Amino acid sequence: MPSPRTLYEKVWDAHVVERRDDGSCLIYIDRHLLHEVTSPQAFEGLRAAGRFVRRPDLTLAVPDHNLPTTARTDAAGHELPIADRESAEQLAALRRNVAEFGVPYIDALSARQGIVHVVGPEQGFTLPGTTMVCGDSHTSAHGAMGALAFGIGTSEVEHVLATQTLILSPSKTMEVRVDGALGYGVSAKDVVLAIIGRIGAAGGTGHVIEFTGEVIRALSVEGRLTIANMSIEGGARAGMIAPDETTFAYLKGRPMAPQGEDWARAVDWWRTLPSDAGARFDKVVRLAASDIAPALTWGTSPEDVVPITGSVPAPDSFADASKRAAAQKSLDYMGLTPGMRMQDVPIQHVFIGSCTNSRIEDLRAAASVANGRRVADGVRALVVPGSGLVKRQAEAEGLDRIFTAAGFEWREPGCSMCLAMNPDKVPAGERCASTSNRNFVGRQGPGSRTHLLSPAMAAAAAVTGRLADVRELMG
């Protein structure tokens, strides 16, 4: 009998084209996503060497990072120009490159456009048991569906375009198990923040994480995507969740998912993927759902997590000297003082969006808190759906009217305020309650201060004007 294997090992084994002497392998890549920022030089490289895209049919390009989230067409339906010259150029280059190389492309003007990591699952391009890459670190999100998915650099993008393979060394494995049932007001975002708070921002370095346990099994695909998305913030190469009936039900009938006989065959294979009983992980971490509360970050690393009922930690409370110094630097940057209650911290901006939390469930959760309330004075609150299809669905459910009636801005899909590459930015010294995944120094604009939290918590912050416990506004 073959020895028991993990989900990661099964997917890896199924994609080995060739084993090399030094232990690395040539790995076949089933799915390649492209966006405008990290692909232009890869196409340029192909062009210079007279090469082609080996498998355009396994490739999909979508613009997202640079796109403004304001209206894209005028009243007559004509495309509006993009003011930032460099952004406009990067976006135009993507259009030119996909046309020249015959790569399937979802244009900015299509309803199917969105953040690349929202579009993949939504279109059924992301499938269980596939290897998937993109020149973007949050490619880890797709692991939520049982894919082995990770971010790559521009030379590797070129390598995949030309050869549909990558030279990779196997990673170590880590199981993160969350058992029990989530408490009132606790969401997938709180779970992943709790995990990163526990393992640390470098805790997963060199590993591929598999998220397991009752809590993960009970989550929708949307919630699972939120969790796998932030694997990279825990330092892991990738994060995976075993595919199950929830995954299959989500995928069935999606435009690019297998159909008919193929579907049945695919599901049969996907059912063999979950880790075998007795499979060994290099590291195991366990969390109890009962210990997880609505949470948020206080500092400039995603590991700086506290429950909303907590307060700003004192740098002295950290054991090692470098952590103490880092905490002090974070607090200075964030403009916070030790001992301050998180719930007393006022905010000026709210961002509900990003590839972590911009799917329909996220918008529903935020809308249920916003419903019948008003955005507090002096607060600017943005809701940015992850894709045109999410936007449409939300509008069909009337969520847009709930948001706009409450004083939120309802925008076009894109990365938006997640990173300061398009016009949506947080001004220096101002504070943002954000559903995105990175609270690094300057991430939302030079001098911006970010608190990561769930969509419902972000809505609670918007209507109270401070970081707030969503449980007090629910029900």
Partner 1 sequence: MQAVTRVSGTAYPWGAENVDTDVIIPAHWLKTITRSGLGRGAFETVRAQPGNLFDDPRYAGAPILIAGDNFGCGSSREHAAWALADMGVQAVIAPSFSDIFSGNAFKNGIVTVVLPQEAVDRLVEVAKTDPVTVDLETMTVTTPYQDRYTFELDAFRRRCLMEGLDEVGLTLAKDTVISKFEERLGVERPWISGRADDAGLAVEGARRT
Please pick, from the candidates 13, 79, 86, 344, the single residue that binds partner 1 as defined by CB under 8 A: 86
Please pick, from the candidates 73, 155, 317, 404, the single residue that binds partner 1 as defined by CB under 8 A: 155
Question: Does residue 387 touch ligand SF4 according to CB under 6 A?
Answer: no
Question: Does residue 154 touch partner 1 according to CB under 8 A?
Answer: yes
**314 close to 340: Cβ distance less than 8 angstroms:** no
Question: Does residue 182 touch partner 1 according to CB under 8 A?
Answer: no
Neighbours of 393 (CB within 10 A): 16
The pair of structure tokens assigned to 203 is 């805790």
Q: For residue 69, what are the contacts with CB-CB under 8 A and spacing of at least 6?
A: 382, 384, 411, 412, 413, 414, 416, 422, 424
CA 151, 156, 161: angle at the middle one, nearest 5?
A: 105
300: left (phi over 0), alpha (psi -120 to 50) or beta: alpha
Question: Does residue 53 touch partner 1 according to CB under 8 A?
Answer: yes
Minimum gap (Å) between residue 356 Cβ and ligand SF4? 7
Question: Does residue 159 touch partner 1 according to CB under 8 A?
Answer: yes
| Rounded distance between C-alpha atoms, residue 59 and residue 30, angstroms | 9
Question: Residue 117 binds what, of ligand SF4, partner 1, none (CB under 5 to 8 Å, by partner type)?
Answer: ligand SF4
The pair of structure tokens assigned to 337 is 């003082």
Question: Does residue 166 touch ligand SF4 according to CB under 6 A?
Answer: no
Minimum gap (Å) between residue 105 Cβ and partner 1? 5
Please pick, from the candidates 201, 256, 326, 441, the single residue that binds partner 1 as defined by CB under 8 A: 256
The label of the residue with tokens 């709210």 reads 350
Interface with partner 1: number of residues (CB under 8 A):
63
In terms of Cα–Cα distance, which of 128, 173, 175, 131 is closest to 151? 131
Neighbours of 244 (CB within 10 A): 17
The full length of the chain comes to 475
Question: Does residue 335 touch partner 1 according to CB under 8 A?
Answer: no
**Residues in contact with ligand SF4 by the rule CB under 6 A:** 64-65, 115, 117, 136, 138, 354-355, 415, 418-419, 436-437
**Residues in contact with partner 1 by the rule CB under 8 A:** 17-18, 26, 28, 30, 37, 40-41, 44-45, 49, 51-58, 60, 86-87, 89-90, 93, 98-107, 110, 112, 124-125, 127, 129-130, 153-155, 158-159, 162-165, 167, 255-259, 262-263, 265-266, 269, 421
